[in-house]
Amino acid sequence: MTTTAITHIAALVTNDPSLGDNSPLGLIQDAAVVIEGDRVVWTGESSKAPATDNAVDAAGRAVIPGFVDSHSHLLFAGDRTQEFNARMSGRAYTAGGIRTTVAATRAATDEELSANVARYLAEALRQGTTTFETKSGYGLTVQDEARALRIAARHTDEVTFLGAHIVSPDYADDPAGYVDLVTGPMLDACAPYARWIDVFCEKGAFDGDQARAVLTAGRAKGLHPRVHANQLGHGPGVQLAVELDAASADHCTHLTDADIDALAQSATVATLLPGAEFSTRATWPDARRILDAGATVALSTDCNPGSSFTSSMPFCIALAVRDMGMTPDEALWSATAGGAAALRRTDIGRIGPGARADLVVLDAPSHVHLAYRPGVPLVHEVWRRGERTGARKHG
């Protein structure tokens, strides 16, 4: 197999303390990475790089692991421009807006849904995302949820069944009947396409008992839980996530000390989604408090047409640093290794021997520029599974 070295990397983030400066980012200055097929086989100082078939000169740029976006909702049609516009004029965000997207999604063809996913994925890849998770949740019938997941599974292995996003409008008077549908025929139809099961545990969506019923039914069918928890207010979501060993509790905007303790003592990752607070003008989650307690934090986009219509991990990093108390190092770690932890993956989110060759070359000498230069397109090129994509023409 051909080997390729990327050389003259000003600062390489490996996310492996033992490979670099012993910090969590495992930084190596003046570094090289050697790729063979779709894997990384060597990292270290440029001067010590082994001989390879090909070499690519990074010319003093920084290299980081590809972003792992562990939370998105890309199976939708239409948009909610008017709702956003009204919100920016003072109207509050509620879970009810989801119904608008449900109607548009049901009316869309398979081709339209698939083209939509492909479009947002391409957008994300250009901004450095090499792995993404995505969910159903805008179909809310057996057929519409199953087709969303069937389409999603063509684009990623990290597929999540979110039939319990809100109670379907068809069951407005019978929420218990909807939970029976989700945990019965809908789960049966959806489980073959999904790895994960999720529920929106929130006032206006599903309460703790309903959420528990959904997640335990999913687990019995081989799906692993993750939970939309404590986004709009305090509630049982985080504690439930920890109790059921969910891979992540997502949002975590309103946390009690007990919620934070529970996260810190568990393997459940707190996935923070600053795009949602930005786009709904909501209170920021206190990342500092969660990190200081010792919990693992992931950063993700939550890309969806209602609460967070961004596919940009660099944007989320900038917000997390500016407004959520994270350091640039912590934010970078959370957007890469943290996302991998939230998907319980060890092959991504790091750059070291055996890892998938997913990496981003930045038009900057350091990863700190992602927060320092907000809104600037700093992604020079992206390597995904060892293949170079999106190299810019200018050098």
Binding site for ligand NIG (CB under 6 A): 73, 97-98, 101, 200, 228, 231, 276, 302, 304-308
The 3-state secondary structure of 64-75 reads EECEEECCECCC
Q: 142-153 and 98-107 are packed helices; what angle lies between their axes, rounded to 10 degrees?
A: 80
User: Residue holding tokens 């990863």?
Assistant: 367
Residue 268 beta carbon to Fe ion: minimum distance, rounded to whole angstroms: 16
Residue 136 beta carbon to ligand NIG: minimum distance, rounded to whole angstroms: 12
Q: How far is CA 386 from CA 184, 329, 349, 357, in A?
A: 41, 25, 14, 5
Residue 135 beta carbon to Fe ion: minimum distance, rounded to whole angstroms: 7
Residue 120 beta carbon to Fe ion: minimum distance, rounded to whole angstroms: 14
Give the residue with the Cβ less far from ligand NIG, 3 or 94.
94
Q: What is the DSSP string of 1-70?
A: --EEEEEEEEEEE-S-GGGTTSSTT-EEEEEEEEEETTEEEEEEEGGGPPP-SEEEEEEEEEEEEPEEE-
Give the residue with the Cβ less far from ligand NIG, 274 or 306.
306
Residue 131 beta carbon to Fe ion: minimum distance, rounded to whole angstroms: 17
Give the residue with the Cβ less far from Fe ion, 246 or 360.
246
- Per CB under 5 A, the list member of 83, 158, 302, 330 interacting with Fe ion is 302
97 interface partner picked from Fe ion, ligand NIG, none, CB below 5 to 8 A per type? ligand NIG
- Say how many CA atoms lie within 13 Å of 59 toward its Cβ: 7
Give the residue with the Cβ less far from Fe ion, 277 or 302.
302
Residue 394 beta carbon to ligand NIG: minimum distance, rounded to whole angstroms: 37
**Do the annotations mark residue 306 as ligand-binding?**
yes
Give the residue with the Cβ less far from ligand NIG, 15 or 239.
239
**Do the annotations mark residue 265 as ligand-binding?**
no
- With CB under 5 A as the rule, give the number of residues binding Fe ion: 1
Compute the Cα dihedral for 74, 75, 81, 83 and give only its sign.
negative
**Do the annotations mark residue 80 as ligand-binding?**
yes
Q: From CA 23, how far away is CA 216, in angstroms rounded?
A: 38
In a 3-state reduction of DSSP, which class is residue 270?
A: strand
276 interface partner picked from ligand NIG, Fe ion, none, CB below 5 to 8 A per type? ligand NIG
**Do the annotations mark residue 155 as ligand-binding?**
no
Residue 304 beta carbon to Fe ion: minimum distance, rounded to whole angstroms: 6
Binding region for Fe ion (CB under 5 A) out of 6-14, 51-59, 110-118, 295-303 = 295-303
Contact 368, 322 (CB under 8 A): no
Give the residue with the Cβ less far from ligand NIG, 43 or 231.
231
In a 3-state reduction of DSSP, which class is residue 88?
A: coil
200 interface partner picked from ligand NIG, Fe ion, none, CB below 5 to 8 A per type? ligand NIG
Closest residue by beta carbon to ligand NIG:
306
Contact 382, 126 (CB under 8 A): yes
Q: Interface with Fe ion includes 83 (CB under 5 A)?
A: no
Phi-psi region of 107 (alpha: psi -120 to 50; beta: other; left: phi over 0): alpha
**Do the annotations mark residue 307 as ligand-binding?**
yes
**Do the annotations mark residue 251 as ligand-binding?**
no
Geometric angle at alpha carbon 99, from 279 and 335, rounded to 5°: 40
Q: From CA 239, how far away is CA 259, in angstroms rounded?
A: 6
Give the residue with the Cβ less far from Fe ion, 37 or 204.
204
Q: From CA 283, how far away is CA 202, in angstroms rounded?
A: 16
Residues at the contact surface with Fe ion, assessed by CB under 5 A: 302
Residues annotated in a binding site for 4-imidazolone-5-propanoate: 80, 138, 165, 231, 307
Residues annotated in a binding site: 71, 73, 80, 138, 165, 228, 231, 302, 304, 306-307
